[in-house]
Amino acid sequence: MVNDVQPPSQDRVRGASLGLPAGGPGALATFGSRIGAFLVDALGSALVAGLFTAPDLPGNWALVAFAGLTVVTLVAFGQTPGMRLLGLRLAHPRPRERLAPWRAVVRTALLCLLVPALVVDADGRGMHDRLTDTAVVKG
């Protein structure tokens, strides 16, 4: 039957257009693992901000801590603490060099808005990754 055959577009491997492998180290991270890393970073940032605002809740200071933590660790190490814990890293156009600070700042600003990170392409990359030419991959 004709309906039993999948169209070629359905056989597309995530990350193939970026030159990334289908699986293993260097493959695109799953949406679930990216969310997990985000939650670890968000919780850690809230705890750090809470140290400075105690006994009150950190409120928007947690977002400031999240942005600072994310930018600094992405530029310095190529991964946030949450990414490291889940075995992920950030891939960018110059793999042997540190991430350019402007890429980290733009990516983090869009991630803080949250909605651009949820608008994904066929590869599963969020708008914040597409605009900065980055991708979260398995370590």
Is the pTM higher than 0.95? The answer reads: no
Contact (CB, 8 A) for 26 and 35:
no
pLDDT for the residue numbered 13: 72
Contact (CB, 8 A) for 40 and 82:
yes
The residues with which 91 forms a beta bridge, in sequence order, are 135
Compute the half-sphere exposure of residue 114: CA atoms within 13 Å on the CB side of its CA.
Answer: 6
**pLDDT tens-digit profile, the chain (139 residues):** 455 555 555 566 777 777 778 888 888 999 899 999 999 999 999 999 999 999 999 999 999 999 999 999 999 999 999 999 999 999 988 878 899 999 999 999 999 998 888 888 888 888 999 999 999 999 8
